[in-house]
Amino acid sequence: MDALTCLKTRRSIRSFATTDIDAAIVTDILDCARLAPTAMNRQPWSFVVVRDAATRHRMVEIAGHAEFLRTAPVAIAVCLDEWDYWKEDGSAATMAMLLAAHAHCLGACWVSMEPHPYAPAVKTLLGVADTQHLLAVVALGYPVETPSPEKRPLADMVRYR
Ligand SMILES: Cc1cc2nc3c(=O)[nH]c(=O)nc-3n(C[C@H](O)[C@H](O)[C@H](O)COP(=O)(O)O)c2cc1C
């Protein structure tokens, strides 16, 4: 898939097949996150790969939503060291993961963590250091749905001067 097709056809996937994901594919998705743009090349991120089903179920119980984390064979937590641009850096890395997943014919969905009140308990569950932020957990799996959420037209959001 070429880059423009990947960007334009990616959609959040919340229904997954039971098929497992090869470790090499997960590593490649993480590698794409590693190479994401980051202010002042700080690279403040680290990632927790969750394959354990009991841990994924517990995350859903704690968060009270994102039921699809139960069936996603892999979930990846995006953790950031505190600094001025942790949210921007973490968002760039997360987006890179979503696109890399799509390029590998996987489905993915961003599940928000901080600033929700459940984030500290998820951090404890995953062993994330107190000094780190938990921006998101990305659910990954082979898609069994093709959603097409409504998108605003370009003409509504662009001005030329
Ligand atoms: C910052 C952010 C947080 C999100 N959090 C969640 C979430 O907690 N649960 C969820 O199901 N989707 C979440 N999403 C996915 C959005 O719902 C989704 O991107 C949006 O509906 C547009 O659909 P699309 O990704 O298919 O284009 C999040 C997306 C972003 C960018």
Q: Are 48 and 111 in contact (CB under 8 A)?
A: no
Residue 67 parent element (H or E): none
Q: What is the 3-state secondary structure (H, E, C) of 86-142?
A: HHHHHHHHHHHHHHHHHHCCCEEEEEECCCCCCHHHHHHHHCCCCCEEEEEEEEEEC
pLDDT tens digits along 16-42 = 999 999 999 999 999 999 999 999 999
- pTM for this prediction: 0.98
Identify whether 119 is part of a domain.
yes
- Ligand 1 pocket, CB under 6 A: 11-12, 14, 66, 109-112, 147, 149
Identify whether 159 is part of a domain.
no
Identify whether 4 is part of a domain.
no
> What's the CA-to-centroid distance between 13 and ligand 1, angstroms?
9
Identify whether 150 is part of a domain.
no
The DSSP symbol for 82 reads S
Classify residue 158 as exposed, middle or buried by CB count within 10 Å of its CB (0-12, 13-18, 19+). exposed
Give SS3 for 48: strand
pLDDT tens digits along 54-90 = 999 999 999 999 999 999 999 999 999 999 999 999 9
Identify whether 37 is part of a domain.
yes
Identify whether 6 is part of a domain.
no
Q: Which of 96, 97, 90, 49 is nearest to 73 (CA)?
A: 49
pLDDT at 154: 98
* Residue among 13, 97, 109 to mutate when testing ligand 1 (max atoms within 8 A of CB): 109
Classify residue 139 as exposed, middle or buried by CB count within 10 Å of its CB (0-12, 13-18, 19+). buried
Identify whether 36 is part of a domain.
yes
Identify whether 156 is part of a domain.
no
Q: Which of 114, 132, 141 is nearest to 56 (CA)?
A: 141
Number of domains into which the chain is organized: 1
* Domain housing 25: 12-144
Q: Are 64 and 118 in contact (CB under 8 A)?
A: yes
CATH number at residue 95: 3.40.109.10
